[in-house]
Amino acid sequence: MKTLISILVVFFLANHTSAQHLSGITGKIITENKEGLLKITATAISKSSIHYSLNYILVSVKKGKNGSSSNKQSGKFSLKPNETKTFAETNINLTKQDALKVYLFVKDEESDKLLSKDSLEVNPEKFSSAVSYIPESSIELVGLTIDETKTRLGQLFYESFFKKYNQIPKKFEGTVTISELPSFGRNSRIIVSQDDQMIHSFLTRPDEESIDAEADRALANLAEYNSRNSLKNKEFKY
């Protein structure tokens, strides 16, 4: 099974474009860099007289010294005639040595027609270029992980988890989400969930060894959870 990074690169490499738009709708990626933290904002601009109900997908793929990580957001929003709206945001820790690709797609909710797309690349030569185009309908995001961490420790955990997960031959079905919530003092709580089911959580400590150990525990708990679900599914098959 291909990993998320390879699937996304295969699909999106044909779309190295700035914002393109149809039907008067333009989707744009706007960035702001503050002390190594890149804030990415997705914005839609309407020059149409029509009220739109829209879907969006915002995907970022980062390649750093600790391996690759990814973040995917998707959802719905509405856009009034001649309105400009910010509908998604994400923050990524980015050094000068890291590579990054970000892709935005805006679609009409009713027809699923692509209305606009935009892309951003930082150090793209660090990604493999030996790929070809695959239509969107052919892609299965199996083994998808979503990064919703907010701090440096959260990002360290996600990168450790993603690196270990990438080494597993068979990925878990569904989506694994790594989220982060504020806690007491300077600590935060990391929550690992699969398809909205919480699997593992812990309070962060400024210790890379403990972060790495928590990634191992999270993977072990995910494996146990998926094993139990697999047995349950077999029991209900007649």
How confident is the model over 50-102, as pLDDT tens digits? Answer: 999 998 888 888 887 766 777 778 888 999 999 999 998 888 888 888 888 88
Give CA torsion, residues 226, 170, 174, 78, to 10 deg.
160
How many domains are there within the chain?
2
Say what the pLDDT of residue 128 is.
Answer: 59
| 97/177 same-domain check | no
Q: Which has the higher per-residue pLDDT, 215 or 166?
A: 215
| 133/150 same-domain check | no
Q: Which residue has the tokens 């199996």?
A: 142
| 162/220 same-domain check | yes
- Gap between the Cα atoms of 164 and 148, Å rounded: 18
- Gap between the Cα atoms of 223 and 212, Å rounded: 17
3-state secondary structure of 59: strand
Say what the pLDDT of residue 84 is.
Answer: 95
| 116/183 same-domain check | no
Q: How confident is the model at residue 215 (pLDDT cuts 50, 70, 90)?
A: very high
Asked whether the predicted pLDDT for residue 203 surpasses 60, the reply is yes
Q: Which of 126, 74, 73 is nearest to 95 (CA)?
A: 126
Q: How confident is the model at residue 237 (pLDDT cuts 50, 70, 90)?
A: very low
Asked whether the predicted pLDDT for residue 230 surpasses 80, the reply is no
Q: Which of 137, 45, 114 is nearest to 83 (CA)?
A: 45
| 158/217 same-domain check | yes
Mean pLDDT for all residues in the chain: 78
Q: How confident is the model at residue 140 (pLDDT cuts 50, 70, 90)?
A: very low
Q: Which residues partner with 182 through β-bridges?
A: 188
Cβ atoms of 4 and 168 within 8 Å: the answer is no
Q: Which has the higher per-residue pLDDT, 129 or 2?
A: 129
Q: List, in sequence order, every beta strand (DSSP E) within 35-83.
A: 37-46, 52-64, 67-79
Summarize the confidence of residues 173-200 as an average pLDDT: 86
Q: Which residues partner with 148 through β-bridges?
A: 179
Chain centroid offset of residue 222 CA: 19
What is the CATH number for 104?
2.60.40.2420
Angle at alpha carbon of residue 127, lines to 123 and 128, rounded to 5°: 145
The reported pTM is 0.52
Summarize the confidence of residues 114-141 as an average pLDDT: 62
Using the 3D structure, point to which of 84, 104, 137 is the last residue of a domain: 137
Asked whether the predicted pLDDT for residue 235 surpasses 60, the reply is no
| 29/126 same-domain check | yes
- Name the residue range of residue 120's domain: 1-137
Say what the pLDDT of residue 234 is.
Answer: 55
Using the 3D structure, point to which of 89, 121, 137 is the last residue of a domain: 137
Asked whether the predicted pLDDT for residue 169 surpasses 80, the reply is no
Using the 3D structure, point to which of 69, 103, 137 is the last residue of a domain: 137
Q: Which has the higher per-residue pLDDT, 1 or 36?
A: 36
